[in-house]
Each structure stands twice: as C-alpha cells, then as structure tokens.
C-alpha cells in the first residue's frame, strides 16, 4: 500500500531560499510542500489550516525568530519541527541545543553551493524530513498520559541481583540530546554513582552538548580524560571519535578500536566494558536512536546480572536501538522517558517498590 507523502510547510524570510527548498523537495514523490510562510506569525496562522506533518523553519527571521516560533508551535499546536538554517553550523552549537530544548526535533544546515552539492543536500534533506515526520511530539503543557500506557510485560531473567549499583551507563542516538536533558535535569544533586554516556553526534558538536547538559545537571558533565577514575555524581562522555571503556583498574579509557555498528564511540562497546568491570553492580540505559548499536551490548549487561532499562516506543524519536534490545530480551524494564530518572534514583538507593515492579517486568 502506497504511503501518503509527508506534508511539509516551509518557513523562511528569503524568497530565494524558499524557491530553492521547494525545488529540492519537489524531486521526491515522498514529500509534498503544502504551504510556505515568510515569517513566524504567518506560519502560526497557516498551521491549523494546512495541518503539516513537518514544519521546516529558518532561524534568522524578522519580528519572530526560529527559536520563538518553535516555542509558540509547541505551546499551541505541536508538530515535528526541523530547523533548516545557516545558523546551525558547528560553531553555533549553543544555538543548536537551545533549539532542541525548545522543541525542535533536529537541525539541518541550509543548503549552499552548486547543482551537484544541492543534489546531494536534497537527498539528505528528504531523508531527514522523513525521519522527523515519524516523531510523536507533545506540547510543553500537554497531557502525557499516553506516554505511560502499559504494554506487554517482559519477564525478568532471574539472574539479576539486587547488589547496590556502582555505575550507570547510558547510550543514545537520534533524539538523544533531548532525552539526556530530560533524565539528567531530573536527577538529584550528589547522585551517588558515576554516569557514563555515549551519544552519537557529529564531530565538532560534543563540546556544545556537554556545555548545554552541564547547565541543567546539578553535578558535573565532562569529556573524559584517558586513565581518569570516574567519580560519583559526574557524567562522562568520551572524547570525539573514540570508544569509552573501563580498564581492569577501574579507569576510563579512550580507545581508537574499529567502529562497532558503524559508530565510534559505540554504545555496545561501552556496555560490554561496563559489564566486564562491574557485572551485576551496573545499570544500563538505552535511549532513542536509529540502528542496532547498544542492543547486543545491553544483552551482555543483562546476562551479567545488571539492571537494564530501555526507553519505550511512545517517547522515542526513533525506536530502533531500544527495539533491538527489547527483541533480544535484554531489557529488564521498559519505561517512558519521564520515568527513567526516578527509576535510576530508586535503583541506586535500592528502593523496594521499584525493585518489586522490575521483578515482575513492566512496560
């Protein structure tokens, strides 16, 4: 059965940019441009009438910039938003993460260059829009009851013990920055164990991500140093283009081993290393993301007795990596994004109510 084209609205104050974008998208039968607007207020008037599946907006616009427009859209009629702008290059990482925090699903540099470059950019833009179109978004004040609906239970493998966790390892890809923000900003000050994070992100954007998350986390968010001992309450990301592992002495190690599942850093590499070092005294968390990285690593964690948590489908931007772990039987518990921070707090404090729920498997 043929799928309907993705209905797209373009917002840009440059008539030339609008023409270029329309030409690029017209080449794809999977995309239909259903409306254009030259400023934010016009876009807000059009959205309820044309009901786009995706809004692509510029950042720099008169009267109402892209950040303000995103906030208004998310408050009034939430729809997936892709920022297409020259203001989202690597040296503008602070702006990029502010846009994601406001509710944008992703960002894409405004296409520039000759016909050949634009042809390649058009293919990338179409693929990005198709991904964004599959995202469920909700307003800042929306009823989130749908996000906590129970699904089929997953039985818990009996090997998991209740040893007090000594480390938390979190992996994410597409949609991960927003998910990490939700979790880290909800954790208490002086979280009692270290947190290791692997986020698939383009080279050059990691320092901005670390700075942005650090502004919302009560502890420290750091890019790890090789041979550093992880400290409780700190969040560690690997250096760019390196795997994050733990050696026999309990030190963080940055390695240049081959990519795993097409990634370096790889979530699976981190999970396997954490399992080897901590066994059943670890907690692994797998968040939104495309592909399979993390699933096999989470399986190793689970088989070693660790507590393993996956983000549920309803709250994922892309339910790829968590799905792989769930289908492998590696997820001991599957939770909505908003419940993961409280689950981590309960786990590291060995709170019986949570442990009882996990024993019976919850979704």
Q: What is the CA radius of gyration of the chain?
A: 21
Which residue in 191, 197, 180, 253 sits closest to 219, CA to CA? 191
Backbone angles phi, psi at 362, to 5 degrees: -130, 160
Which residue in 298, 359, 358 sits closest to 331, CA to CA? 298
From the list 53, 58, 92, 293, the catalytic residue is 293
From the list 173, 268, 273, 275, the catalytic residue is 173
d(CA 362, CA 357): 7
At a CB cut-off of 8 Å and minimum separation 6, what does 249 contact?
Answer: none
Residue 173 annotated among the catalytic residues of the structure: yes
Backbone angles phi, psi at 271, to 5 degrees: -60, -45
Residue 225 annotated among the catalytic residues of the structure: no
C-alpha distances (whole Å) from 85 to each of 15, 41, 109, 247, 341 are: 14, 18, 5, 42, 33
d(CA 39, CA 41): 6
Peptide bond into 286 cis (omega under 30): no
Which parts of the chain fold into alpha helices (H)? 15-26, 40-50, 66-76, 93-102, 115-133, 176-184, 206-214, 267-278, 295-303, 321-327, 337-348, 352-359
d(CA 149, CA 339): 12
Q: What is the DSSP letter of 263?
A: B
Q: From the DSSP assignment, how many helices (H) and strands (E) are in the chain?
A: 12, 14
Residue 293 annotated among the catalytic residues of the structure: yes
Sheet holding 54-57, edge to edge: 31-37, 6-11, 54-57, 81-85, 106-109
Task: Point out the residues that are catalytic.
Answer: 173, 200, 293
């Amino acid at each position: 059965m043929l799928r309907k084209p993705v209905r797209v609205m373009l917002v840009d104050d440059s008539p030339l940019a609008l023409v270029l974008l329309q030409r690029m998208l017209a080449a794809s039968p999977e995309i239909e441009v259903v409306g254009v607007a030259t400023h934010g207020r016009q876009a807000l008037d059009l959205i309820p009438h044309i009901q786009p599946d995706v809004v692509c907006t510029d950042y720099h616009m008169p009267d109402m910039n892209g950040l303000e427009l995103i906030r208004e859209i998310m408050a009034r009629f939430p729809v997936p938003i892709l920022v297409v702008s020259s203001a989202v290059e690597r040296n503008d990482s602070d702006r990029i993460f502010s846009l994601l925090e406001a509710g944008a699903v992703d960002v894409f540099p405004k296409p520039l260059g000759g016909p050949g470059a634009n042809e390649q950019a058009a293919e990338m833009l179409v693929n990005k829009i198709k991904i964004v179109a599959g995202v469920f978004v909700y307003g800042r004040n929306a009823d989130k009851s749908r996000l906590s609906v129970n699904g089929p239970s997953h039985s818990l493998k009996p090997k998991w013990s209740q040893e007090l966790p000594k480390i938390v390892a979190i992996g994410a890809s597409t949609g991960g920055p927003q998910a990490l923000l939700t979790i880290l900003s909800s954790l208490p000050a002086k979280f009692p164990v270290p947190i290791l994070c692997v986020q698939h992100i383009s080279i050059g954007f990691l320092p901005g991500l670390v700075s942005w998350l650090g502004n919302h986390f009560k502890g420290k968010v750091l890019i790890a140093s090789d041979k550093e001992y992880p400290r409780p309450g700190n969040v560690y990301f690997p250096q760019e283009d390196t795997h994050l592992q733990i050696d026999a002495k309990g030190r963080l190690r940055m390695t240049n081993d081959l990519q795993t599942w097409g990634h370096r850093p790889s979530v699976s590499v981190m999970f396997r290393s954490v399992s080897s070092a901590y066994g059943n005294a670890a907690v692994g968390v797998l968040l939104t993301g495309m592909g399979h990285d993390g699933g096999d690593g989470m399986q190793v964690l689970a088989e070693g007795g660790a507590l393993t948590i996956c983000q549920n489908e309803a709250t994922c931007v892309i339910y790829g990596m968590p799905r792989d772990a769930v289908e492998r039987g590696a997820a001991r518990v599957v939770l909505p994004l908003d419940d993961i921070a409280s689950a981590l707090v309960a786990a590291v404090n060995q709170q019986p109510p949570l442990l009882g729920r996990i024993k019976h498997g919850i979704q």
